[in-house]
Structure 1
Amino acid sequence: MRKLPSPLRRRRLFSTLSPEPSNSFTVANTCSNKNIARWKSILSHHIRNSDVEEARRVFVQIPAPDIHLYTMMIAGYTKDNRIADALHLFDVMPLRDIASWNSMIKGCFDCGDPGLAWKLFHEMPDRNVISWTTIVNGMAKFGRIDVAEKLFYGMPCRDTAAWNSMITAYCDNGRVHDAQMLFERMPHRNVISWTAMIAGHDRNGDSSMALRLLRQMWTRGIKPTSSTFASALTACANSPDPIFGVQIHAAVVKAGYSAENFTSTSMITFYANCYQIESSSEVFKQKDVQNVYSWTALITGYGVNGRHEEALHEFHKMLRSGIVPNQSTFSIALNSCCALEDLDRGKRIHAAVMKRGFYRDLFVLNSLVVTYSKCGDIEDGLKVFNGMSERNLVSWNSIIAGCAQNGHASLALHLFDEMSVFSVKPDEITFLGLLTACSHSRMIARGRQVFQMLKESPSVGIRPEHCASMVDILGRSGNLDEAVEFIREMPVRPNVMVWLALLGACRLHSNVEIARRAALEIFNLDPCNSASYILLSNIYASAGKWNDVAQTRAMMRSRGIVKIPGSSWITICESRYEFICGDRSNALTAEIYEKVDWLDEKLKEYGYTREMAFDLHDVDEEQKEYSLKYHSEKLAVAFGLLISANGSTIRVMKNLRVCGDCHSAIRLISKVVGRTIVLRDSSRFHHFRDGLCSCGDYW
């Protein structure tokens, strides 16, 4: 706890910051009431406009400030985070009243010094209910809910504001049940009490209870405020409850609150969460003045509805309007870049982040790490991570997962070791990233070690996805019997993801018997899971069991399950070009096929031969060769070579796992053309350079 400097020392340190105090309060009263009112007006104007330095220059000219002027100046200093100046002024006051003590205590909390606030509270000669409420609010704000609770129950008297303060404290600290009990015991409730409980239930995951409270409030004739409506609309968005939300919207309009920022922003979010984004857009357009909050809500809404192009369009429109984005706006725009796998636009937003001074914002930097990692540019993701002045658990999880997905398993594990040096405790997501890294790099022993660490971590729970990764580690390496035994002894019940991991391993190692058992488990858990039918069919096909293939496909048809066709796409200059096997719909089809044929001839010079086993159709060899030659990823790569700048990296995305033949071909293409090719399939990123792949041909 900070020690207060002596009054004499403070006077010497800050003697230029305030007028000399009068020796008696009588002298202070020599200023006429008229002059006092004028000084108050001037000071209030400067403080309200955050011009505290000008307020100080005015204050030192006042011949004998009264207690109210001192208190105003103290509040101005703390608003500007100048706690030392406020403390000096408080010390040299000729006389203090409870209001000045309360202002100083509140200022300590606002400036982030709860210890000093606590000390001043205990030094107060007299306290009123505002003093008690201020200390309760402050302690709760800094997570000291136990202290706030003792203070509340130790208050000599409580008004409604004090009760509301404790209710809010409970809700803010996740103790909504205690808040509800206190709410029910309140002798008198006002609209603030009801609003605090509505917002508290919604923030703590019980939006339906929040809406029930709103109905009770209406029944009792209590008129909601704009804050009440905003909280209720947020609850409708989180429920979601579109019918009740529309009723609240009508009530907002009737009450005249539709133009207020919080209510209109909540309406935009409500309609977006209920998948009525056009209504969100209409609410946004009806606002006379758009601000960063309404823009952010609209951009978020487009993202929630999967309309990421429109989200980025609105983001850039916002920039052109001269409105500076906040950290949420930047992060949401970056999320849309991730969804579109558009690295170029992500880089442009990164430039905007730097230009607008968010280069140290942890929230935004974490989003940049994720964006680069998910767009296959792990090198730039690492640059952002290494340049961060501070990191939190999200930062470490993001870079570990990014390294795992981009073929840098050893680095992911090294980062985990470094993370422990900084005393950052891992969570479920950390362990999932580590297990994924081991799975993608044949690190079987390290995978077992990581899973054992997970089991021994008391604060981290084992989830089915952890077990699925462990099954993948064992199965992919050929230890199928051990993988089956692991599933049998799992600490949690195996789900579809676990059995799919085993089925995928059976596909790699052509184990028909275990594949049948795994597929049966999936059919029982999720009869409509298309991936299980396709994997099983492919396993049968690779083993030449065409009757079983036919039966599996007949089962799919009878259950209305449609196989998703394999497709690949490439994004260049904000335009996305998509290809399917044998696709001839592109304007450059002739040039693309000519490029594929040219590449095919070049590859043969390097000893490449088509791997026919990867075509799983019961057709003749000529048809298989044609199909493999014009797989979607090869067409996308050829297209990229045609229209991208020489020497630039080609980035291709695919919705399914890349086939072995395409993997071998693209690996050699990178050497033939001297270009880096990044291919993301349904499992991971493959970085092809100089005839090598980051996966080490193990994926």
Structure 2
Amino acid sequence: MNRTHLFQSLFNLRFIFAGATIGYWRRPFSDIASTTTSYKHELIHRLNTQTLQEARGFFDQIPSPHVTLATIMISAYACHHMLPEALDLFRKIPSKDVVSWNSIIKCCIYCGNFATAWKLFDEMPHRNVVTWTTLVDGLLRLGRVEDAERLFWAMPNRDVAAWNAMVHGYCSNGRVEDAMRLFCRMPLKDVISWTSMIGGLDQNGKSDEALVLFEKMVCSGVKPSANTLVCGLAAAAKAWAFHAGVQIHSCVLKLGYCCFDEFVTASLVTFYASCKQMEAACNVFDEVVQRNVVVWTALVTGYGLNDRHQEALEVFGKMMKMNVVPNESSFTSALNSCSTKMGLESSVYVGGSLVVMYSKCGYIGDAIFVFKRISEKSIVSWNSIIVGCAEHGCGMWALTLFRQMLREIDPDEITLTGLLSACSRSGMFQKAECLFRYFGQKRSITLTVEHYACMVDVLGRCGELDEAEALVTSMPVKANSMVWLILLSACRMHSNLHVAERAARKIFEMEPNCSDAYVLLSNMYAASNRWDEVDEIRRTMKDNRVVKQPGSSWLTLNGLRHEFLSADTSRPLTEKSCTD
């Protein structure tokens, strides 16, 4: 992702809320509005083209900067997960407005420090509905649905965005019945409300109900968005509801999405392919004005769904000849067609590889489908699908598969790691404890430091920090720095500085230059307004030459690997640089 897209995504996260009251730091200019606008454009330009430090240098040179400019800098720090710098800048604003308060709260949640967000919420002199909605959404993202419910109903007033956040949160946490009840109580629904509920029903196995709701929305006069159409087509594909899908196709044509929106087009191709109508799928594909990788992949996958694997591979080859760079999904579909065409889909080795690949690409449903077709499932096959479910937060699926596994084969150490990870990500604390005890009693399995690390993670996510620390100190095997780092991370999540300091000391004894520990502890001190300790940590890092590892991404072009670091503008990805 380049810097321009990164900063645009920052605005999409609503760190800067339009329409709210704007305050001032000071008024040294006769025409402060036009001057602020000029500085704003220049600051955004520098954030898009320079490093964050260089942009901050420009900001520091602005005389009496307007609070809007500070809010932009806070949002940029949030995008780079630099919470201490964001908090430090926020506290220097002499006249904070509601936008700056909302931005720093959103920043804390985005950086994973909900305790500080809640503390700022309590300190905020004047809150608006955006403030409350931000906290509700943060709680829902953490899976704390009951806390979010209490806060939602405590709101002095609720706009449609607040109701939408709660509906979406219910669906994301698998509570689709609660989402429907709340949806029905909404005093006002917009297209986002309908889309969230339609998508939520479909993703929770209620595709038929999603199509009924889509029809009600159209009848009520609400104009579907592109996202609504994608959700409706996905539901029609899963339910094999051909006539409903054709009606949605009519809406697509009427609203003019078919030829220009790649996701709507790809959804149409997938729908017709799922209903065994490949000729119609090809007709949709041929009508597309610009065919990108999403549309091409939909056609490759569609042929595979219809067991026309030779044609799937031909389309994949044509895509390559058209210089369309395949993504993970493209390769996965092509490899699936390759293995099926050769009769290897039921092979334990090929099938296992496909299970891992589908899981890594985010298609856990397809991974399970391939897993069921493996003729003789080995321990590797079972572990692959359980770990895949764990990685995608499908804890109940992982446990269901584990029960099936026990009837066919004995689990091993990797099975326990996958199960504990699944319980951790799904918040199933009691199930994790039962599994840990069960495997601990099996003579054929020896609990390793990785298993204890998983259990510490489970306890930490649930807020049982004292119990987690006790487990670490009583382990029969010596805890390594990673175990203590997991505990330290949980301490930051729940703002337990006492346990965090003890965990950090242990880490520094084993790994004096652990940058992650320094950063986590520094963030916690900053959240507690202990700036002397923050400065001391920064001095220690500088003296010991400890550098925080920047985020990076990479791609391979023409056989060469290109790596791009966060905030790095020294290596622009241009057509020339790709061919040099």
TM norm structure 1? 0.47
Partner of 1:416: 412
Distance in 2 between the 1:373 and 1:242 partners?
26
Shift of 1:165: 1.4
Distance in 2 between the 1:373 and 1:204 partners?
21
CA contact (8 A) 1:334 1:371 kept: no
Distance in 2 between the 1:274 and 1:46 partners?
50
**Deviation sequence 1:279-309 (CA, Å, 0-9, x none):** 2233233333333332332222222112223
Shift of 1:373: 13
AA matched with 2:285: F
Distance in 2 between the 1:291 and 1:341 partners?
29
Percent identical across equivalent pairs?
A: 39
Partner of 1:310: 311
AA matched with 1:335: N
AA matched with 2:251: A
Do structure 1's residue 83 and structure 2's residue 83 form an aligned pair? Answer: yes
CA contact (8 A) 2:140 2:169 kept: yes
Distance in 2 between the 1:371 and 1:205 partners?
19
Distance in 2 between the 1:235 and 1:278 partners?
21
Partner of 1:255: 255
CA contact (8 A) 1:199 1:232 kept: yes
Do structure 1's residue 95 and structure 2's residue 81 form an aligned pair? Answer: no
Shift of 1:134: 1.1
Partner of 1:114: 114
Distance in 2 between the 1:300 and 1:271 partners?
12
Q: 1:330 to 1:121 in 2, by over 3 A?
A: farther
CA contact (8 A) 1:341 1:374 kept: no
Partner of 1:272: 273
Within 5 Å, which residues of 2 pair with 1:20-31? Answer: 25-26=25-26
Do structure 1's residue 205 and structure 2's residue 205 form an aligned pair? Answer: yes
Partner of 1:289: 290
CA contact (8 A) 1:50 1:80 kept: no
Partner of 1:142: 142
Shift of 1:104: 1.9
Q: 1:202 to 1:375 in 2, by over 3 A?
A: closer
Distance in 2 between the 1:108 and 1:92 partners?
17
Q: 1:225 to 1:272 in 2, by over 3 A?
A: same
Distance in 2 between the 1:103 and 1:111 partners?
12
Distance in 2 between the 1:223 and 1:378 partners?
48
Secondary structure of the 1:25 match is coil
Which of structures 1 and 2 has the larger relative contact order (alpha carbons within 8 angstroms, sep 6+)?
2
Distance in 2 between the 1:70 and 1:39 partners?
11
Secondary structure of the 2:119 match is helix
Distance in 1 between the 2:316 and 2:199 partners?
29
**Deviation sequence 1:8-39 (CA, Å, 0-9, x none):** xxxxxxxxxxxxxxxx9225667833221122
Deviates more, 1:293-302 or 1:42-51: 42-51
**Deviation sequence 1:417-447 (CA, Å, 0-9, x none):** 44336764899xxxxxxxxxxxxxxxxxxxx
Structure 1: 5+ residue stretches without partners:
1-23, 428-448, 451-699
Partner of 2:336: 335
Secondary structure of the 2:26 match is helix
Partner of 2:177: 177
Within 5 Å, which residues of 2 pair with 1:585-596? Answer: none
**Deviation sequence 1:45-64 (CA, Å, 0-9, x none):** 45578975664454344333
**Deviation sequence 1:488-534 (CA, Å, 0-9, x none):** xxxxxxxxxxxxxxxxxxxxxxxxxxxxxxxxxxxxxxxxxxxxxxx
Q: 1:50 to 1:324 in 2, by over 3 A?
A: farther
Q: 1:158 to 1:337 in 2, by over 3 A?
A: same
Q: 1:189 to 1:323 in 2, by over 3 A?
A: same
Q: 1:123 to 1:203 in 2, by over 3 A?
A: same
Distance in 1 between the 2:343 and 2:87 partners?
52
Shift of 1:130: 0.5
Partner of 1:461: none
Distance in 1 between the 2:60 and 2:327 partners?
37
Q: 1:167 to 1:48 in 2, by over 3 A?
A: farther
Q: 1:370 to 1:60 in 2, by over 3 A?
A: farther
Structure 2: 5+ residue stretches without partners:
1-23, 424-443, 446-580
CA contact (8 A) 2:25 2:64 kept: no
Partner of 1:158: 158
CA contact (8 A) 2:389 2:422 kept: no
AA matched with 1:338: S
Secondary structure of the 1:188 match is coil
AA matched with 2:312: A
Aligned residues: 383
Cα-Cα RMSD: 4.6
Distance in 1 between the 2:361 and 2:128 partners?
40
CA contact (8 A) 1:139 1:147 kept: yes
Q: 1:374 to 1:198 in 2, by over 3 A?
A: closer
Within 5 Å, which residues of 2 pair with 1:568-583? Answer: none
Secondary structure of the 2:187 match is coil
Distance in 1 between the 2:318 and 2:40 partners?
42
Partner of 2:238: 238
Q: 1:421 to 1:136 in 2, by over 3 A?
A: closer
Distance in 2 between the 1:107 and 1:322 partners?
39
Shift of 1:69: 1.0
**Deviation sequence 1:260-279 (CA, Å, 0-9, x none):** 23322221221111111232
**Deviation sequence 1:64-95 (CA, Å, 0-9, x none):** 32111111122223234433433332233233
Q: 1:371 to 1:172 in 2, by over 3 A?
A: closer
Q: Which has the larger radius of gyration?
A: 1
Partner of 2:68: 68
Distance in 2 between the 1:276 and 1:54 partners?
56
Q: 1:109 to 1:310 in 2, by over 3 A?
A: farther
TM norm structure 2? 0.56
Shift of 1:328: 3.4
AA matched with 2:311: E
Do structure 1's residue 167 and structure 2's residue 163 form an aligned pair? Answer: no
Distance in 2 between the 1:372 and 1:248 partners?
33
AA matched with 2:330: T
Q: 1:130 to 1:206 in 2, by over 3 A?
A: same
CA contact (8 A) 1:28 1:65 kept: no
Distance in 1 between the 2:274 and 2:98 partners?
47
Distance in 1 between the 2:189 and 2:241 partners?
27
Distance in 2 between the 1:185 and 1:417 partners?
48
CA contact (8 A) 1:43 1:55 kept: yes
Deviates more, 1:164-173 or 1:302-311: 302-311
Distance in 2 between the 1:248 and 1:120 partners?
46
